[in-house]
Amino acid sequence: MKTQELKGALRDLLKELRAEMRARFNRHVSAQDLLSDRWETAREHGFGEGSSCYNNVLILGDVTVGASTWIGPNVILDGSGGLTVGSHCDISAGAQLYSHHTVKRVTSMGEAPVEYAPTVIGDGVYIGPNAVIQKGVTVGDRAVIGAMSFVNRDVPPGVMVCGVPARVVPRSDQMDEG
């Protein structure tokens, strides 16, 4: 088959897959996510039963993910210093979870080493879109991390943090409890 014929066949396949995705889920995803299966990607990385992980997620080093965790598109899971994510978590699009940084190595002109520290995300944690979790942070069970927050210290269980740097705020899903 000639190159142009292959390109035409691929375009036709993508068009058919996009129509199916639109009909089933009313969404558009990248070509790579049309050609892959999120649950299969999670299984290939040894993530827990029922977890899903978009194909375009960057996964580095030692990353452990529990059961029934959803990992959205364009996420960074940096396990170079060890990253553990619990069960029943949602990690929203663009979130970045780090377990290393190179600040001292760079500012020392290569004399200092890269710094590593394990990062731990508990069970039932929601991490909002584009949130950044710094190396060495532990996020407690059932915590909520607001969109675009920078988390540079441990987060207690059950609280909501938002902002840059992230600070504890009242949880809207608990305001009516009492």
Q: How many CA atoms lie within 13 A of 130 on its CB side?
A: 4
Query: Catalytic residues, which ones?
Result: 101
Reading the block at residue 92, the tokens are 């929203």
